[in-house]
């Protein structure tokens, strides 16, 4: 299912002349507020020990992209 979605995204991007760049999820787990790194803790909600920022890991990743 994931490979099929990725293939569709790449096809549509090529059709529009856009470049698709694959990004590791680990590269986007940076705190938007202070720039610190968040560590995976097995839960969807992550908290920064440095600044106290709290957020859903998918929302944080989307913000950082």
Which pLDDT score, from 0 to 100, does residue 37 have? 79
46-51 contacts, C-beta under 8 A, 24 or more apart = none
Determine, yes or no, domain membership for 58. yes
pTM reported for the whole predicted model: 0.58
- With tokens 């995976």, the residue in question is 40
Determine, yes or no, domain membership for 41. yes
Which pLDDT score, from 0 to 100, does residue 48 have? 85
Determine, yes or no, domain membership for 11. no
Determine, yes or no, domain membership for 31. yes
Number of domains in the chain: 1
Residue 65 sits in which domain range?
24-65
Determine, yes or no, domain membership for 17. no
Residue ranges in the chain modelled with pLDDT below 70: 26-27
The H or E element spanning position 46 is: strand 45-47
Which pLDDT score, from 0 to 100, does residue 12 have? 95
Length of the chain: 65
Which pLDDT score, from 0 to 100, does residue 45 have? 86
Determine, yes or no, domain membership for 63. yes
Determine, yes or no, domain membership for 5. no
Reading phi first (left if > 0) and then psi (alpha if -120 to 50, else beta), residue 58 is in alpha
Determine, yes or no, domain membership for 39. yes
């Amino acid at each position: 299912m994931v490979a099929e979605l990725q293939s569709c995204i790449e096809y549509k991007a090529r059709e529009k002349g856009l470049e698709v760049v694959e990004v590791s999820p680990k590269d986007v787990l940076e705190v938007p507020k202070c720039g610190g790194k968040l560590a995976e803790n097995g839960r969807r909600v992550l908290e920064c020990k440095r600044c106290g920022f709290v957020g859903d890991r998918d929302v944080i990743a989307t913000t950082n992209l």
